[in-house]
A = this chain, B = another copy of it.
Amino acid sequence: MSLRTTLDFMLYDWLDSVSLTERARFAEHTRETFDATLDMCERIARDRYAPFNRLVDIQEPRIEGDRVVLPEATYLAHKAYAESGMLSATQSFESGGMQLPCTMEAAANAFFACASVGINSSLLTTCNANLLMTHGTARQQEVFARQEYAGHWSGTMCLSEPQAGSSLSDMTTRALPDSNSGTVSWEQDVLGPRYRLSGNKMWISSGDHELTDNIVHLVLAKIPDSEGKLIAGTRGISLFIVPKHLVSSEGELTGVRNDVALAGLNHKLGWRGTTNTLLNFGEGKYPVDGRAGAIGYLVGQPGKGLACMFHMMNQVRIAVGMGAAALGLAGYYASLDYARHRPQGRPHTGAGKDAAQPQVLIIEHADVKRMLLAQKTYSEGALALGLYCSKLVDEQQTGEAGSADEARLLLELLTPIVKSWPSEWCLEANSLAIQVHGGYGYTRDFPVEQYWRDNRLNMIHEGAHGIQALDLLGRKVLMEGGRGLQLLAARIQATMAKAASHPQLAEFAQALGAAAQKVSHATQAAWSTGNPQQALANAVPYMQAMGHTVLAWIWLDQACCALAADSGLQQTATQGRLGCTQYFYRYELPKISAWLNVVTARDMTCADFPEGAF
């Protein structure tokens, strides 16, 4: 099945995305406009992304003078993406957007991630502008977001610092009122209250380049209290727009460079097409009005920056999962193609092997089939989960009140899963893609080793695996009295009820019910002593088990849908979906027992291991 065929089933048959056009927000859309978007993205990805995926891996970004040099292919890919309108795919028509559902945006973007995940990371630009559309002033939207949607400027998110990493409460970037420069008072600058920022930000993707005329950094920093001290913890964090080049109140480029300096490029294992930087804010390399300090404009209220940023981060986390899924699919397609054309060996038969017979294609070997089926199941499952979560975003934004609220809470619960599960299992899929190729897969003459390197990032960025697990077991399953898990359980029950009308799914429905019970039991057992150190000691195995249970549900639900239209398994696509479901229930779901054992027992083997004994 091609990516398009797979998306068509998920979007239209399974998720019934066309029903979204019955809502006012999407009333201008039809299946045809959705399809046109997919057509366009599929074509651009094929022409402007896929042919250059290896090139951007080899021609890594480098600094010449104080500029970042990128291959021409990156410029062309950026231009084509910007011209497609996808940067503002979900924005309203009046903002110049396509007013598409998030579901369609996520599906369309999968073509790009599958073709070349690293060539151009426009995702952050979109998320950055979307954040401003929610939390920025009208002027901030007009000046900054508009240019970002048009692709003239690009956007970043600047959270991490070298000394703090994921621990945002320890950031030390400071923002002081810029009260003695400029012609208008700092509080009344039309672009927002004006501050001077100083500090270092690490891991900033697309933090510097010449792809666009300007870069809009969204920077988290702390405003010191009246005694000049930073408030400990995350309460003191505010959000600022810090443009690379300063702009007039009308949004024109002034020709003045802001005090944001490129301090270095990170040289990565993979995902090399995307520039990743260390940025120094306000060190005085580019003084403004004769003084060090990067000019930044406050977004939202002081001290509320983290909440604004989380708006963006949740979007990004779904996108990370979708990117991991797309990479998984890319490796699957490559290894499937290889397995269909490479002759080697002969099947084992009762009579032994007959060397006089010609070699068979390796796709005929059971273990190659196993590796292909695992890849298909992981990657298509991850894709389905990502689309499901995107549809929850649409529901949250356009559904009726009760349903929107359910979607919100379910999304909170599923966000750590949709981010972590594809990152882990589609990486495994890429490893299997290498294995199918044998020695050839280990060479750079084939694309699969790059997919594997690229995908390794996804368990790290935008909240590492361990962070996601703490979020899931330490926060999400507890919030609102555990209602998130109840909502999930209800949806699982609904799928089991659907499955009841298909005898060939009975085995799976029963296994799903048992798995959900086990997860529920483990959740209670983990927290039964009320001690977070015990409860959270095995948060990652818990997340793995919850992830596998969620994927089992996603596959069974898809199987129900496939069988409803093709109960006789007439189509190979239906056979494929049933095969994936069967693979997942027979080979994968049973793994949860091992993961949950330690959660349920509040096993402290790791937590109590003496440091001196390592």
A599-614 interface with B by 8 A CB criterion: 601, 603, 605-607, 609-614
Q: How far is the CA of A530 from the CA of B586 in the complex (A)?
A: 23
Q: Which residues of B contact A364 (CB under 8 A)?
A: 611
Q: How far is the CA of A369 from the CA of B606 in the complex (A)?
A: 6
- Are A348 and B532 in touch, CB under 8 angstroms? yes
Q: Which residues of B contact A449 (CB under 8 A)?
A: 269, 456
For the complex formed, measure the closest distance between the CB of A430 and the CB atoms of chain B, giving whole angstroms: 11
Q: Which residues of B contact A594 (CB under 8 A)?
A: 587-588, 590-591, 593-594
- Are A459 and B435 in touch, CB under 8 angstroms? yes
A536-578 interface with B by 8 A CB criterion: 536-541, 572-573, 575-576
Chain B interface: which of A311-319, A399-407, A437-445, A485-493? A437-445
Q: How far is the CA of A202 from the CA of B443 in the complex (A)?
A: 12
Chain B interface: which of A11-19, A28-36, A370-378? A370-378
- Are A160 and B606 in touch, CB under 8 angstroms? no
Q: How far is the CA of A194 from the CA of B451 in the complex (A)?
A: 47
A59 within 8 A of B: no
What is the total number of copies of this protein in its complex?
2
**Selected contact of A603 from candidates B343, B532, B537, B586, CB within 8 Å:** B586
- Are A533 and B366 in touch, CB under 8 angstroms? yes
A583 within 8 A of B: yes
Chain B interface: which of A82-90, A132-140, A145-153, A465-473? A465-473
- Are A167 and B345 in touch, CB under 8 angstroms? yes
Q: How far is the CA of A420 from the CA of B160 in the complex (A)?
A: 39
For the complex formed, measure the closest distance between the CB of A194 and the CB atoms of chain B, giving whole angstroms: 28
For the complex formed, measure the closest distance between the CB of A302 and the CB atoms of chain B, giving whole angstroms: 18
For the complex formed, measure the closest distance between the CB of A213 and the CB atoms of chain B, giving whole angstroms: 29
Chain B interface: which of A292-300, A355-363, A497-505, A514-522? A355-363
Q: Which residues of B contact A1 (CB under 8 A)?
A: 614
A434 closest partner in B (C-beta)? B456
- Are B586 and A590 in touch, CB under 8 angstroms? no
With A370-B606, A530-B350, A579-B609 known as contacts, the answer to whether A466 contacts B365 (CB < 8 A) is: yes
A127 within 8 A of B: no
- Are A465 and B605 in touch, CB under 8 angstroms? no
Q: How far is the CA of A169 from the CA of B531 in the complex (A)?
A: 62
- Are B267 and A444 in touch, CB under 8 angstroms? yes
Q: Which residues of B contact A586 (CB under 8 A)?
A: 597-598, 601, 603, 605
Q: How far is the CA of A234 from the CA of B613 in the complex (A)?
A: 51
A324-372 interface with B by 8 A CB criterion: 336, 340, 343-350, 353, 355-356, 359, 363-370, 372
A370 closest partner in B (C-beta)? B606
- Are B456 and A442 in touch, CB under 8 angstroms? yes
For the complex formed, measure the closest distance between the CB of A606 and the CB atoms of chain B, giving whole angstroms: 4
Q: How far is the CA of A269 from the CA of B430 in the complex (A)?
A: 13
- Are A344 and B573 in touch, CB under 8 angstroms? no
A121 within 8 A of B: no
- Are B593 and A590 in touch, CB under 8 angstroms? yes
A431 within 8 A of B: yes
10 nearest A-B pairs in the assembled complex, by CB-CB distance: A233-B355, A576-B613, A590-B594, A370-B606, A366-B607, A232-B355, A367-B466, A269-B449, A348-B532, A575-B613
21 residue pairs from A and B, CB less than 8 Å apart: A1-B614, A164-B359, A165-B438, A170-B345, A233-B355, A267-B444, A350-B530, A363-B614, A366-B538, A366-B606, A367-B469, A368-B466, A373-B606, A431-B456, A435-B465, A442-B456, A541-B587, A575-B610, A583-B605, A590-B597, A593-B593
Extra contacts, 5 of them, besides A170-B344, A579-B610 (Cβ < 8 A), are A234-B355, A442-B456, A442-B460, A583-B605, A587-B603
